[in-house]
Amino acid sequence: MVHGELWTVKEFFVYPNEYIYWSIQIVMYPFMTGLVAGAFVLSSLYHVFGIKQLKDIARFSLVFSFALLPVAMMPLMLHLQQPLRNYEVMATPHFTSAIAAFGIVFSTYAMIVASELWFVYRKHFVETALSLGRKTHKGPVEFFRYLLFSALTLGAYDVSGEALHKDEKAVKVLAGVGIPVACFLHGYAGFIFGSVKANALWMTPLMPVIFICSAVVSGIALCMLTYILTMEIRKFIVGWKRKRYPTLSSQEESQIKSVEAHVVNITSRYLLMFMILAITLELLDLIFRGYTAVKSWDILRNLIYGKDFTNIFILQYGLGNLLPFILFLLPRLTIKRAALGSMLMLMGVFMMRWNVVIGGQSFSSSFAGFMHYHLPLIPHDLETLKEGLVGALAVGAMPFILFWILAKIFPLFGEEKSS
């Protein structure tokens, strides 16, 4: 069987070689890079623009952005037909291609996030390494931690007020440089699609901007959701401890609650702002296509208002945009409603990616036929494992696993405890 044949069903006149070649993993790719960029932008809002209310979520989203980074590459690797040749993109880049610069843009961004993270957590590394170093009897775990944190300090043990002030400055600069690079990383993913002149649905100069805006939306929504989940777990742990030792005060629990509500409230405002921007651009694109009605509009209209109506207007715009919009705008925002709203928004952005990637391949270049995509649910060979539901879920679960591991090195709520 030819690649793509398994999950493609053709209707009416489709050229013989046309299949849905870019499947679920290429839907995951812009979704994941979008989350990376969005999480970073959220953390930069505090570091660069000094929005103090976001201080608590800024560290959190920076670590999350770092956890998402390696995962953004995973879908590409799973999608390549010759994954072992992946290094050729870096080794022999062909710069007229929009994909060729991926390695460079991606690694630049990775270095910025990594170094920003280092400056933010340098004090913690030094303190941990020193306190572990002072211990005379170290267990194997402690010894490993000592080695790890000593290595992470990179030999810079100076934590005087002056040095820390310099760190802060460096964080600010890196976060400032990081915003355009993060936008570039994701706008670039939009450019990969928007510059394909052979695809009538993809080709629009608005594509990179639309991608950036929806990226920020999804990134903020995911950070908020994960933040709420983490806070709930913390609350649960504190409550459980109090049950066992009733003498403990309830101060910590109420403190977590108030911090959580405050952060969620502020973050949701930024979320709404970026969402309005994203939808405006998407609708502009749609209206423009309908108004200019070039040759491809006949088939696109059929696709948008017919075949993909549920995906676009019900799942993406209705449940994914309008409903969370109302949920966030209604007065007295509760944590539960915010969690539900962010989940719906994430779904909306995912559907947007789906409708672009799969929708763009759902019609033939002949403009006279359609292709239907059937996602392989149960894997029965390598291809259906990689480019099926299992592969997509693996990519989706990966950042959380990495986040959990990273949270052991980079304490998410460290500063709060010391203050």
Partner 1 sequence: MITRRDFCKKTMLVAGGLSLPLAALEIFDPKKLLAEKADKARVRWVFLVDTHKCVGCGFCVKACKLENELPLEANVARTWVERYVVTRDGRIYADTPNAGRDGFTNDKIALGLGKYQQVKKENIEKAFFVPKLCNQCENPPCVQVCPVGATYQTPDGVVLVDRSWCIGCGYCVMACPYGMRFFHPQYRVVDKCNFCYHRISNGMKTACMDACPFGARRIGNIKDPGDPVTKIIMRERVGVLKDEYGTKPQVYYLGLSKEVK
Q: What is the CA radius of gyration of the chain?
A: 23
Q: How far apart are CA 137 and CA 243, in angstroms?
A: 34
What residue has token string 């966030």? Answer: 328
- In the Cβ-directed half-sphere of 273, how many Cα atoms lie within 13 Å? 7
CB of 362 to partner 1, least distance (A): 13
Which of 36, 67, 89, 207 binds partner 1 (CB under 8 A)? It is 89
Q: Among 6, 7, 14, 126, which residue sits at the site for partner 1 (rule: CB under 8 A)?
A: 14
Residue from 13, 143, 236, 288 binding partner 1 (CB under 8 A): 13
Q: Between 76 and 223, name the residue whose CB sits nearer to partner 1.
A: 76
Smallest separation, CB 348 to partner 1 (Å): 25
Which residue in the set 229, 283, 368, 397 belongs to the binding site for partner 1 (CB under 8 A)? 368
Q: Does 97 interact with partner 1 (rule: CB under 8 A)?
A: yes
273 binds partner 1 (CB under 8 A): no
Q: Which is nearer to partner 1, 54 or 76 (CB)?
A: 76
Q: Is 10 in the site for partner 1 (CB under 8 A)?
A: yes
Rounded to whole angstroms, the Cα distance separating 220 from 40 reads 9
Query: 331: how many CB neighbours lie within 10 A of its CB?
Result: 4
Name which of residues 20 to 59 contact partner 1 (CB under 8 A).
21-22
CA torsion sign for 332, 335, 336, 338 is positive
Q: Judged by CB under 8 A, does residue 11 bind partner 1?
A: yes
Tell me whether residue 38 or residue 75 sits nearer to partner 1 (CB atom): 75
Regarding 394 and contact with partner 1 (CB under 8 A), the answer is no
- Residue-wise DSSP of 109-150: HHHHHHHHHHHHHHHHHHHHHHHHHH-SS--HHHHHHHHHHH
Is residue 216 a contact partner of residue 36, using CB atoms and an 8 Å limit?
Answer: no
Helix or strand run (H / E) with residue 140: helix 140-153
Q: Does 96 bind partner 1 (CB under 8 A)?
A: yes
Tokens 């291809």, residue?
383
CB 83 within 8 A of CB 137: no
Q: How far is CA 165 from CA 119, 160, 161, in A?
A: 10, 9, 6
DSSP labels, 244-267? H-TTS-SHHHHHHHHHHHHHHHHH
Mind giving me the DSSP string for 308-361?
Answer: THIIIIIIIIIIIIIHHHHHHHSSS--HHHHHHHHHHHHHHHHHHHHHHHHHHT
* Total residues interacting with partner 1, rule: CB under 8 A: 50
Do the bridges between strand 8-12 and strand 369-373 make them parallel or antiparallel, or are there none, so unpaired?
A: antiparallel
Residues in 162-201 at the binding interface with partner 1, rule: CB under 8 A = 192, 196-199
Instruction: State the Cα angle at 221 between 62 and 282, rounded to 5°.
Output: 115
Does 70 help bind partner 1 (rule: CB under 8 A)? no
Stretch that binds partner 1, among 163-171, 210-218, 274-282, 357-365 (CB under 8 A): 357-365
> Per CB under 8 A, does 367 bind partner 1?
yes
98 binds partner 1 (CB under 8 A): yes
Q: Does 94 participate in binding partner 1 (rule CB under 8 A)?
A: yes
Stretch that binds partner 1, among 35-43, 81-89, 346-354, 403-411 (CB under 8 A): 81-89
Query: Nearest distance from residue 92's CB to partner 1, in Å?
Result: 5
Between 29 and 270, whose beta carbon lies closer to partner 1? 29
Closest CB 172 distance from partner 1, rounded Å:
35
**160 near partner 1, judged by CB under 8 A:** no
Q: Give the interface segment with partner 1, choosing from 72-80, 118-126, 252-260, 315-323 (CB under 8 A).
A: 72-80
Helix 161-194, helix 335-360: angle, nearest 10: 40
Residue 143: CB atoms within 10 A of its CB come to 13
Tokens of 161: 């007020």
Q: With H, G, I as helix, E, B as strand and everything else as coil, classify residue 362.
A: coil
Pattern of binders to partner 1 over 310-349, x per CB under 8 A?
Answer: ----------------------------------------
Contact status: 19 vs partner 1 (CB under 8 A) = yes
Binds partner 1 by CB under 8 A, chosen from 5, 158, 168, 381? 5
| Contacting positions for partner 1 (CB under 8 A) | 1-5, 9-19, 21-22, 76, 79-83, 85-86, 88-89, 92-94, 96-100, 102, 192, 196-199, 295, 361, 364-369
